[in-house]
Structure 1
Amino acid sequence: MIQYLLRRQLCYDISLHSDIELTKEVFPKIKDKRIVQDSPVYDHISSFAFPEYPVITRQGTVLILSEMEWSLDPVYEKNPVERRKRRTKMADIQSERVLGDTRSYAHRIRQNRCLIPVTGTYEHRAIQGWAKKVPYYIWPKDRKMQFLPGLFQIIESIGPAGEKRQSASFGMLTRTANELMVNIHNDGEFRHRMPLFLTAELEEFWLSEHFTDADMKAVFEYMLPSEALDYRTVFSIRSAKSRPDGKPKFEFWRYENLPSLGDDLPDQTQLSLF
């Protein structure tokens, strides 16, 4: 029996504030099949609303840029309320389960590989004595855009009038965190994890035409060093409260008495961030 073992993890917030056209500089032969060609750029995208988002897939010998919904759809769940509830927890996929658990749905769709273009990701850090977690923006040094590996699904269904329907969704792959991300993502049931950050060469390799389970295992074992990433604190990204200075959410925001990474026991207790 195939099981959905894609548990709630960490990365529900990403940024795409660079023009998606940059993907064509990295993959010059890519075919753009997006429905809306003038897709806007975003300083913050959350998976909770299952947004349509541009992803790169391979179809035979061709790379395709198209939109898919973020968060795999648990089609096994027939109750629509429960199905949506479960789906909010399926934005991420533990890479360890893809090859390590042959009963999992991730294992079943493991050859449905995709790349997720982002300019950066967000994560929250807990500090003892602080009322709220501190949000961080993390991005690759010396790169305009990075491409996070994921898996996708294509679901075919029949509409009310008997018409054929097709929907596509994806999940982002994660792994145990490097030293930097351990100190940022330091709280919660799935603390000390991060997206499966790769080098540009491994990103391209992820969509190789001939890609084996051994290749996948090698990719999963790669850990991007902390030195390849940059980071900064930002204003609340999920709050309905607007940023006071009007700047984009990925821009730097200063917190007084913020202890250095790795030191989560401040000398002065911060009662509230805002």
Structure 2
Amino acid sequence: MCYDICFHTNILLTTEAFPALIIDATLDHDSLVHVEGHRLPSFYTIYTNDNTPRLTTMEWGVDPLYISDPKERTSRRTGMLNARSERILDDHKSYWYRIKDNRCLIPVTGIYEHRQINGWKNKVPYLVYVQDAPVFYIPGLYQLRDEVDTTTGEIIRSGTYTVITRPANTLMGNIHNSGDNKHRMPLFITPTIAQQWIDPSLSVTGVREILNYEMPSEQLAYKTVYTIRGGKARPDNKEKNAAWEWPNLPPLGNDNPLNTVSQQSLF
């Protein structure tokens, strides 16, 4: 699944793909080397309003508005970080079907994922990205909510979103090779498809075609990194998305280490 993303560039690059993009005046133009979904963070989101693409921030993890208790809604959001592409159009009982027309994009420079190596204590962390793309877009769904400020009486509108995932291509299947949700990947798409995704006139057939799109493995690039969620600083003091060499790491498709020496913990 997709719970960790990277945005390590200038957010204004999004205007190259969306020249008519309106940027929220309150937006902070931050570079975010690592964003962890389970923290329910605010992150960049592009959606269409009044037929115009808009860049704003929403919180990761869709808010299930069918639950009345705010505390319970918040606790449920960690289970709504990702939406399986197979459920959006065909599972009429799912919440994703209910908000299927609320289509958005999540701009990223890469996503993090773990790979299991046989006999190793720690999984190997990877950063995966689209080749020659300073920024690319993952499709998502969003949910708007209106809340009343009990102090001022003002109605405040905010949004939450989910990242769409699909069955993994060969590359991602070899990296995301363990766990309950193994062999899945974010729905990587091209810039042209990204523009189509947030077009309000997109037909159901068009939505289905995008949900079924599989980016070829050769269009993706990857590198191993030191850690994803570990709090320990890197020995080389570089940023989290910098490459890190793991000794005896076998090539993708072979999960047996290159020798029998036990892996030493890096954490």
Q: TM-score range by the shorter chain?
A: over 0.9
Identify which range, 200-209 or 176-185, moves more after superposition.
200-209
Supply the AA of the counterpart residue of 2:208.
K
- The residue that corresponds to 2:45 in the other structure is 55
SS at 2:89 equivalent: helix
CA contact 2:61–2:78 (8 Å) conserved in 1: yes
Structure 1 gap ranges (5+): 1-9
Structure 1 residues 272 and 214: CA distance shift in structure 2, 3 A: same
Give the Cα–Cα distance (whole angstroms) in 2 for the partners of residues 140 and 270 of structure 1. Answer: 33
SS at match of 1:100: coil
1:143 is matched by which residue type in structure 2?
A
**Is 1:31–2:22 an aligned residue pair?**
yes
Give how far 1:85 is off. 2.7
8 Å contact from structure 1 (residues 129, 269) kept in 2: no
- Aligned with residue 237 of structure 2, among 237, 246, 250: 246
For 1:200 and 1:95, how far apart are their aligned partners in 2? 19
Question: How far 1:51 sits from its partner (Å)?
Answer: 1.2
Q: Partner of 2:79: helix, strand, or coil?
A: coil
Give the TM-score normalised by structure 2.
0.94
State the match for 1:6 in structure 2. Answer: none
CA contact (8 A) 1:34 1:65 kept: no
- The residue that corresponds to 2:253 in the other structure is 262
Query: Which residues of structure 2 form unaligned runs of 5+?
Result: none
Aligned to 2:220: 229
TM-superposed deviation, 1:160: 2.7
Once residues 220 and 111 of structure 1 are traced to their aligned partners in structure 2, the CA distance between those partners, rounded to angstroms, is: 13
Moved more, 138-147 or 264-273: 264-273
Q: Distance in 2 between matches of 1:63 and 1:79?
A: 32
1:214-235 superposed Cα distances (whole Å, 9 cap, x missing partner): 1111111110000000001001
Number of residue pairs the alignment of both structures matches: 264
Residue of structure 1 aligned with 2:86, choices 96, 110, 119? 96
Of 50, 66, 69, the residue aligned with 2:56 is 66
Q: 1:269 to 1:97 in 2, by over 3 A?
A: farther
Q: Does the aligned pair in 1 maintain the 2:144–2:160 contact within 8 Å?
A: yes
Cα offset, 1:82, TM superposition? 3.7
Letter matched to residue 84 of structure 1: T
Distance 2:79 2:93 in 1: 18
Determine if contact 1:13/1:46 at 8 Å carries over to the other structure.
yes
**C-alpha distance in structure 2 between counterparts of 1:271 and 1:256, whole Å:** 9
Q: Residues 87-166 of structure 1: matches in 2 within 5 Å? A: 87-161=77-151, 162-166=153-157
Aligned residue number for residue 203 of structure 1: 194
Q: Could you state the TM-score of these two structures normalised by the residue count of structure 1?
A: 0.92
Partner Cα distance (1:209, 1:99) in 2: 16
1:271 aligns with 2:263: yes
CA distance in 1, matches of 2:78, 2:261: 34
Q: Distance in 1 between matches of 2:58 and 2:202?
A: 22
Query: Structure 1 residue 34: deviation in Å?
Result: 4.4
Whole-Å Cα distance in 1 between the matches of residues 12 and 26 of structure 2? 14
Change (3 A) 1:227 1:82: same
The structural deviation recorded for 1:157 is 2.7
Q: Secondary structure at the match of 1:131?
A: coil
Aligned letter for 1:57? Y
User: How far is 1:138 from its partner?
Assistant: 0.4
1:180 matched residue in structure 2: 171
